[in-house]
Every structure is written in C-alpha cells, then in structure tokens.
Structure 1
Amino acid sequence: MQSSDFPFGTVPFPPDKIEDKFYQLEFASSEDKSGIITEIAAMIPWQVRVREVADELKDPTLRVFARGVAPVIHSERISLRYAALAEKGNSNHYEDLEEGAFLLSSVTEPELSYLEFRTYLDRIALRVEELVDLNEDLASDDVKVHFLTRVLSQEEGFSGNHEEYEDPDNSYLHRVFVTKRGIPISLSVIYLLVAHRLNLPLYGVNMPLHFLLHFESNDYETYIDPYHGGVMLDRSTCIRFLKANGFQAHDRYFTHASSMTILKRMFRNLIHIYRKKENREMEKVLSKHLLALDSKWKS
C-alpha cells in the first residue's frame, strides 16, 4: 500500500496480522465468518480502500480471495464507522461530517479515493483563502462569506438540480463534485466542509423542506441557500418560506444542525428516493447504515 494514499503516512495495523485474519476468514465455518469480517473491517481505517489492503497480501491465492470478499468487508466497515460516530453524540463542530459524507459516497463506489475527495475540497478552500489574502484590508466577515459563495457558486458552478431533483446522484458528494448539481443538503455539506477548512463559523440549518446554512460571527450574520446559487437571506425571508409551506416559525427550525442530524437527513432522503424508484436493494443497504447512525445496528 502506498503510504501517500493514507492521510497519516503510515498504515496503523501489522500486515501479518491482517493477513492472518484473511486466512482465518477463508477457512472459517459459516457461523464464524461474520465475526471475522467484523474484525477485519475494524482493523482497516476508513480512509483506506479495502481493495488496496487485499492487493498487498503476500499470498496470491489469498489476494484473489480477499478481493472477492472486499465489498462485504467494506459494507461492514461503513456500518462500524457510523456506529462509532453515533457514540460521539450530536456535536455540531463538523469534525466528523467529512468522514460521514465520504462513507455515504463510498456505498455506491467502494473504490472511491479519500485522498482525491479530500484534495478536491482542499483546492476549493485554498482558492477562497487566496481571495481573502489578496483582499486582506477588506476581508471582513461579510466579504469572506461573499468569497466563499462566489467560489462555490460561480467559479465552481455548484447549483441545484431543479430538473432532476430526485436523481440519487444529487445526494452523493463525489457525484456532485462532477456534475456540479445537487439538492440543498448535499450542496450545503460541500459549503460546510470548505468553510470548516477555513475556520469560518458556518452551520447547517435543518429547516423543513429546504436545508440552509447560517453564518454567525460577532460581526456578521446571514443565511445562505446553496441550492439557489449561494443567495444570502435574512431570517424574515426564511420565516416567510416556512409560513408559506404551512409551518410555524419555531426556533427549533433555526438551530444549528449536528453532523449526525445532517447525515441522517441525507440517508432518509436517499432511502425515500430509492423506495419511490422501487430499488429495494439500495433501500435495504442504506437502511442498514442508517440503523448504525441511530445506534440500533446489531442491537
């Protein structure tokens, strides 16, 4: 395995130990296989592709076997990681949002590279930082928000997919990176992950029907709608939207959403879409991972 593919430079498990686990799995009884799969899944960091680990095994016959079971191990690892995130609780610092969003994308693409995923977001953040540095004398908080929305909505071209709102690709960040089209929550997550890199006080707002963002500092406050090109809104406009759709303007609709709240909403959106499309397989897979987020997995 190339150390450059692992963010921390080294693979945190002994190769011989994981090779032994794959040997055990290959020759285990049907009753024991599930437990060994869980052990292997727990050993491989979420940033490392399971297939990469399989490719590094010394025994060529074992490599073939490991590649064959890699999808099962990958799926198990996703649930394990979501269960671990659930144990942390509902903090809104967004430290774990990137992991959760990446894992969701990897449900459909197990060979997705976290290094590429992370580098893409790093590049956007670097561009925003460049604009701030070039305009250092003018870089108040409202100007920083302007640069953030300018880079994401104008330079990168992210906007809502109004024509095909229920296309599942709108919810997987790695696909949104390519198509530049998404739904309110997926686009908001991209904004949040870029803002987090820049230490900007940007938060998700889990409003009914339409996920928004809230920038709140001592000097400046605004709401942002990434679905409509990063347009900035005041609270009264948000209240009018709620009332127009039959909701009262409760404060709970304006609280800052935690990573867990965001991830669960992303999952429920996708499960709803796949249910409507009668894709029972994807509905089942995503429901399993949602149970892990709800701390009900394997209970």
Structure 2
Amino acid sequence: MTRAEMDAFVALAQRPGEDDLAEAALQLARLEHPHLRADDTMEALQRLADRTTSFVQASAAPGDVLGHVQQLGQFLFDTEGFTGNVGEYDDPRNSFLNDVITRRTGIPITLSIIYLHVGRRVGLWLEGVNFPGHFLVRCKGMLGDAAPTEDLILDPFHGGIVLTERDCARMLARHAGEGARFERGLLAPAFKTQILVRMLVNLKRAYAKLRSFAQARDVSDLLLALDPTSLTELRDRGLLAYQMGRYGAALADLERYLALTARHSRAEADDTDVKEEFEAVWEHVKNLRRRVASLN
C-alpha cells in the first residue's frame, strides 16, 4: 500500500459517519490486492443489498423488526450462502472484504460489516458490537413508524442468529475463560474506527501466525497511522522488524517504546507482567545495539 493510499484510508476511517464502513474496510484489501478495483466490489455489494431489500420487503410485514431480521438472515446466509469460515479461521482472506464477498465466507467482523451494510439499506437500525473474542451486531428495536421493541443481539458468523444475554455470557467464557464476568457494558456499540482497528489487529495476528512478518509490519504501519500514540503497536512493529532482520528500524521503534513506557513501568514497579514485558524488550534492545554496532 502506497503512502497516498494509507493517507486516503486514514482520512476515510476518521471521517464522521458510519455509512462508509464497507468502503473503508475494502481499502484494507489493498494490502494483499494492490490493483483492486474497489468500485467494482462496492457495486457488487450494492447489487447484493438491492436483491436483499427486494426479498425482505416482499417477505416481512412492515414494522416487524424480528421479521425483517429473520428474512435478512435467510437471504444472506441461506440464499446467498454467506457462512463463517470455521475450518480456515486464520486465513488472511477472511479479513479482506472483496475476498469475503467472492468466497462467501469470512470471520465474525467481516461478515458483520456485510450484514451492517446490507441490513441498513433494508431499513434496519444496526450497529457493531465489539464483544471480546467475537464481533457481534445489535439491531435497535425500531423500524419505520412501528412501536419500538427490544433490541436484538445478532451473530452473523453463525447465520445471523439472535443471542440472549445468557448466550453472550457463554460465548465470553469460551473466549476469555470461565472466570470472565459478563456485563452489559461488553455490548457497547463499536464505531467505524474501532471496527477498522479490530480488523487490522486480526489481520496482523493472522500474518504473524503464517510468519509473514513483512505483511504483518505493513499492518502495524496502518495501525500506527490510525493511532500514533499506540505503544502496543510501536512495540509490535519493532519486534516484527526484528524478525525481518531490519535491525535499525527495530532498534528505533523499541528504543522509543522503552522511553515512552519507562515512567509507566516505574509507577507500576510491583506489576510483574509490566516488569517482565519491559525487561524482555530491553533485552531485545541490547541485542539489537550489538548487532547494529557490528554492522558499522
């Protein structure tokens, strides 16, 4: 991705409003598909939205939120064949919207972006939910002039099923451990920039698992472009550069990380995890200094 494309992505990500989420998410695919014709994919997504709207309006009663949700799910997941990619969950293609639309499979967050884009055009009031370990969608209980009903929590990865709070608590336990405590704050809405950051973090993890360190570092560049204050991403970009043998770049990032975190680390000197992380990075820095010195 060129600097101009990165700047365009950041501008789109930070532009007010949620309606261009799919367009912004599609720009990430340029990391893998530099010659992507994004307009063609957006047109395909619009045709999908048009077909879905025709089906739902013909099948669901006006003002019936649950009916609209059920018909939306039937069309997207049964008729159109979108499904969660359980068998190849870590495949980077699951994070690229053009691939998800073509292959009809993805991970929770990309399937949710398609669901949000199409469902909003059907007339539903939808928002993302940054639930730990598994992205979800909320449907507000309002449609047209009908009386408001209860909000619905939906899981596009599993066919758009409606989840109860008990279902969400069980899902949290699977992803975060039995000791994790469910609270309604975990179902807070996720906005465009938050969703894009989560997409990028997922993609960075997928590339790192494949040992595609150069691509993972490109993702870190985008994350830092979105949030230049992120110490975690500064650290990760340095560690990825280290894995690539780019010792000068790694040293610059990790020394800056240590300088910015030193005060925090001293303030929490009794925090074992903080101390161990700081010391681990410090060992990398000492090793890098010796390597860089030997090359001069």
Q: Deviations over 1:87-115 (max 9, x none)?
A: 54xx6x52331232111112211221222
Partner of 1:224, secondary structure, is strand
Contact 2:95 2:106 in 1 (8 A): yes
Q: Deviations over 1:61-108 (max 9, x none)?
A: xxxxxxxxxxxxx521232123324554xx6x5233123211111221
Q: Superposition pairs for residues 1-299 of structure 1, below 5 Å?
A: 75-85=2-12, 87-88=14-15, 93-135=17-59, 137=61, 140-217=64-141, 218-244=148-174, 245-246=177-178, 247-295=180-228
TM-superposed deviation, 1:251: 2.8
Instruction: Indicate the percent of aligned positions where both proteins have the same amino acid.
Output: 34
Partner of 2:152, secondary structure, is strand
Contact 1:85 1:293 in 2 (8 A): no
Taking only aligned residues, the RMSD between alpha carbons, in angstroms, comes to: 2.2
Equivalent-residue separation in structure 1 for 2:26 and 2:183 (angstroms) = 32
Q: Which amino acid aligns with 1:221?
A: D
Normalised to the residue count of structure 2, the TM-score between the two structures is 0.69
- Uncovered stretches (5+) of structure 1, i.e. residues with no partner: 1-73
Partner of 2:128, secondary structure, is strand
Partner of 2:139, secondary structure, is strand
Identify the residue that residue 66 of structure 1 maps to in structure 2.
none
TM-superposed deviation, 1:196: 2.8
Normalised to the residue count of structure 1, the TM-score between the two structures is 0.68
User: Residues 100 and 86 from structure 1, CA distance in 2 versus in 1: closer, same or farther, beyond 3 angstroms?
Assistant: closer
More displaced stretch, 165-174 vs 287-296: 287-296
- Uncovered stretches (5+) of structure 2, i.e. residues with no partner: 142-147, 231-296
User: Residues 213 and 84 from structure 1, CA distance in 2 versus in 1: closer, same or farther, beyond 3 angstroms?
Assistant: same
Corresponding pairs, count: 222
Identify the residue that residue 236 of structure 2 maps to in structure 1.
none
Contact 1:141 1:220 in 2 (8 A): no
Q: Deviations over 1:19-58 (max 9, x none)?
A: xxxxxxxxxxxxxxxxxxxxxxxxxxxxxxxxxxxxxxxx
Contact 2:13 2:196 in 1 (8 A): no
User: Residues 111 and 130 from structure 1, CA distance in 2 versus in 1: closer, same or farther, beyond 3 angstroms?
Assistant: same
